[in-house]
Structure 1
Amino acid sequence: MEFIFYAALLWAWLERLVAGIPRFLIFATAAYVILYFATLALVAGVHRHWWRVTWFRRLFYWQFPVALLGAVFRVLSRYYDVPWLWAIGTSLFSALTLYLGAFFIAALLLTPVVVGFSLYDRLRQGGAEEPSSFERRRFLSRGLAVVPALGAMGVSHGIYTSYTRTRMPTVPLRYPDLPAELEGLKILHLSDIHIGPYIQLSDLEALLVRAAQAAPDLIVVTGDVCDHNPEYLATLRLLESVPAQFGTYASLGNHEYMRGIRRIRRHFDQTAIPLLVNEGLAVPVGAATLYLGGVDDPRFLRSPASYAQLRNSVERAVSSSPSDAFTVLLSHRSQALDYAAPLGGTDLILAGHTHGFQLGMAGRSFFEPFFPERYI
């Protein structure tokens, strides 16, 4: 009976643990596991000369349990208020996933080269493999190892630059019929701040000090503010501390839902920052009117229902806009443009979410040539 009692307690604890795991973390962990074994099959099956290197094989083996340990730390941090659990877990899992992804892409790109040379040698020699061809292929495989090494260096550079000085580009916008009161209006647009292991509150504070020097008239935040719930309210406090004549306003992103939307709403309720969700408000600027509409986020934009939700949210956000107002639409998803444009009346859309499709160089995404119709 005692065994059954403890087994029931363990089962109840596991049920509570699993119920509290965010879906995005389950998805990310599953994606990592699939990526790991796909890379393992690719390396062991095609790039065998790499696999025969002892240190490489050991490093590859150890990455798996260490990354999963990071995921476990992330889960435990939701139940125990221990800052290092969340910080270490997120850093381990994110960094190892990035390195594994870079290596997989490099190995995948090199596979046709290695297989092509192997087939060429076999065809040229009538199916018999001479020692010279084996040595040549081994030299080629080892020589091409520089490519995944460059990928790892690229990931390291990306992580490093996340800690360096953030650029704040100024984008001038010109409108032929802009009311005189809105001429020279400065809008500070912040999105996808993601306060967490890579971006600290101190980093945001330093950025806002620089931003305040530009004397913004209006501040807008389009979602994904903070990835660490205990610091969410402190992040909002920092944002509202920046002086702006016409205030600070925000819309939701998908990470707000991932972190628990009810808790996030309570944080906003404790600040002076209006959270605009499927609604808007008019801000008088002298004799002119500036209308700010906030779009809700569909969490996952994949199914027809999620696109319909986004369209409905856009329509509701701008439905109360006065005809003579300058209308600014705040949307975490840039796809809101597809639904706002046919409605007319929206003068400016500010969005985020894509992070430039994550991979790029010199401020441009590698994916731009492949997705010319996408907002990246």
Structure 2
Amino acid sequence: MNSITLFIRIAIFLAVLVLIDLYAYQAFKTTFRASSFFRMAYWIFSVAVMIGVVYAFLTFSRDTPPQTSFSFLMALMILSIVPKLIILTVMLSEDIWRVGEGTLKLFAKEKPDEFLPDRRKFVSQTALVLSAIPFIGIIHGVLIGRYRYRVINKTLTFDDLPEEFDGLTITQISDVHSGSFDNPEKIQYGIDLINEQQSDLILFTGDLVNNRAEEMEPWIDVFSQLKAPMGKYSILGNHDYGDYVNWPSDAVKQENMEKLYQVHERIGFGLLRNENVQLKKGNSTIDLVGVENWGNGFVQHGDLKKAVSGLAHDSFKILMSHDPSHFDYEVKNFAQKIHLTLSGHTHGMQFGIEIPGFIKWSPVKYRYPKWAGLYEDLGRYLYVNRGFGFLAFPGRVGIWPEITVLTLKKG
């Protein structure tokens, strides 16, 4: 990116921030008319965020490992913008009402010199109270939410599940993004929680690192502690290929990939790259299939036909595919029946609202209709894990890091 393009982007972004700030400030101005302290504090915080944004734009580079300072600035920017957008929405609604009321007065010739009524204090107070909800939520998400692991249990029933596999338990984790970790005690807690599930099988569905294999080095001993009697298997996600780094040469990029393959081996995971393995219990088998990343809008390394090569058409199959868009675009209509697909990738955008039985929403749903949890289509199941780690924004608001435990039952 040349300096002129960078300058234009910074200028446009700052202009948007200033417009949001000017509008949101009206709520502070109306609520705290007699207090200059709160109005001054508002602008000190806002200007500090703008300076931070400029610094982040100027110093950000995909060529260096994730930096704590950049993550902090990302959190600060979100902490500033999201509550102000809530304020803006409320204030804009009031302004629509004010313009409507003023227009009626104008046509009725009532005080035409006072076209717009004054802002109502209680509306500004309401806007500030509502904005406090995401403000507190974001702080919680950064300090606590990003390591607030939760175990989600699901039972799936299949008529054609082999008898010996009735009751098979699978723990799925996804999107580790080890380059973002900064708390060894919390990571150890998460690994211990996975082992406590005592599942037959542990499956990891991609994005072990943010960009570089070396990000996993401090965590190899911890992840090597994972245990499952029937094995541990993994696939690659879009971040594992190092496509978001400007490598000095293709050879260096390939060297990084080879190191990442070795990392999977060192932590005891069988990495499936468009291939399959048979899982045996008694005299029965099921097929575990793993494809490389295949996602709508991404470089598609995955080859499902190659991955199922040699498998019986009617065998029971579990597929690991990082990106859930693969399910709709290819898997659900694939010639061979894929009984269960396990994906991740979306993180639930690390931001949303989930109240079981009432609401399940995240902005990511507008990009990925199947973005978290269990889905069924044409008799085939997809489970989308919300992710174990976090990326860019160092927090999780309402969408907690997930450890999934699936129990397969014969119908």
Shorter chain as denominator, the TM-score bin is 0.7 to 0.9
Match of 1:340 among 331, 335, 342: 331
Q: Structure 1 residues 181, 31: closer, same or farther in 2, change over 3 A?
A: farther
Equivalent residue for 1:158? 141
Report runs of 4+ in structure 1 exceeding 6 Å deviation. Answer: 29-33
Q: After TM superposition, give the deviation of residue 264 of structure 1 in Å.
A: 4.6
SS at match of 1:128: coil
Task: Give the 5 Å matches for 1:1-376.
Answer: 36-44=14-22, 48=26, 50=28, 53-70=39-56, 75=61, 78=64, 86-90=67-71, 92-126=72-106, 127-129=112-114, 133-134=117-118, 136-137=119-120, 140-163=123-146, 165-197=148-180, 200-227=183-210, 229=212, 230-258=214-242, 262=254, 263-270=256-263, 271=265, 272-298=268-294, 301-302=296-297, 306=298, 309=300, 313-323=303-313, 325-338=315-328, 339-343=330-334, 344-357=336-349, 358-362=351-355, 365-367=360-362, 374-376=369-371
Aligned pairs, how many? Answer: 339
Q: Which amino acid aligns with 1:88?
A: S
Most deviating of 218-227 and 106-115: 106-115
Separation of aligned partners in 2, 1:59 and 1:41: 15
Return the TM-score normalized by structure 2. Answer: 0.69
Q: Which amino acid aligns with 1:375?
A: K
Q: Which amino acid aligns with 2:185?
A: S
Structure 1 residues 75-117: Cα deviation after superposition (integer angstroms, max 9, x where no partner) = 39817xxxxx822322x13312322441353144224313123
SS at match of 1:115: helix
Structure 1 residues 155-178: Cα deviation after superposition (integer angstroms, max 9, x where no partner) = 223334425541112212222222
Q: Structure 1 residues 279, 101: closer, same or farther in 2, change over 3 A?
A: farther
Maintained 8 Å contact 1:114/1:141: no
Maintained 8 Å contact 1:73/1:86: no
Structure 1 residues 278-324: Cα deviation after superposition (integer angstroms, max 9, x where no partner) = 222333333222322222225x733xxx49x37x6333333343335
Q: Which amino acid aligns with 1:374?
A: P
Which structure ranks higher in relative contact order (CA pairs < 8 Å, sequence separation ≥ 6)?
2
Q: Structure 1 residues 265, 68: closer, same or farther in 2, change over 3 A?
A: farther
Equivalent residue for 1:82? none
Separation of aligned partners in 1, 2:96 and 2:90: 10
Q: Structure 1 residues 50, 319: closer, same or farther in 2, change over 3 A?
A: farther
Most deviating of 31-40 and 229-238: 31-40
Maintained 8 Å contact 2:324/2:343: yes
Separation of aligned partners in 2, 1:318 and 1:34: 49
* Bigger share in strand: 2
Identity of aligned residues (%): 20
Structure 2, unaligned runs of 5 or more: 30-35, 107-111, 246-252, 372-411
Structure 1 residues 24-71: Cα deviation after superposition (integer angstroms, max 9, x where no partner) = xx99x9999755532421342575454792221221111022244356
SS at match of 1:168: strand
SS at match of 2:142: helix
Q: Structure 1 residues 317, 76: closer, same or farther in 2, change over 3 A?
A: closer
Q: Which amino acid aligns with 2:209?
A: C
Q: After TM superposition, give the deviation of residue 125 of structure 1 in Å.
A: 4.0
Q: Which amino acid aligns with 2:262?
A: D
Structure 1, unaligned runs of 5 or more: 1-13, 19-25, 80-84
* Bigger share in helix: 1
Maintained 8 Å contact 1:224/1:252: yes
Structure 1 residues 300-353: Cα deviation after superposition (integer angstroms, max 9, x where no partner) = 733xxx49x37x633333334333532111111112222112113211111112
SS at match of 2:261: helix
Q: After TM superposition, give the deviation of residue 371 of structure 1 in Å.
A: 5.4
Maintained 8 Å contact 1:249/1:273: yes
SS at match of 2:152: coil
Most deviating of 359-368 and 154-163: 359-368
Maintained 8 Å contact 1:251/1:296: yes
Separation of aligned partners in 2, 1:46 and 1:60: 11
Q: Which amino acid aligns with 1:341?
A: K
Q: After TM superposition, give the deviation of residue 375 of structure 1 in Å.
A: 0.2
Separation of aligned partners in 1, 2:129 and 2:142: 20
Separation of aligned partners in 2, 1:104 and 1:31: 21
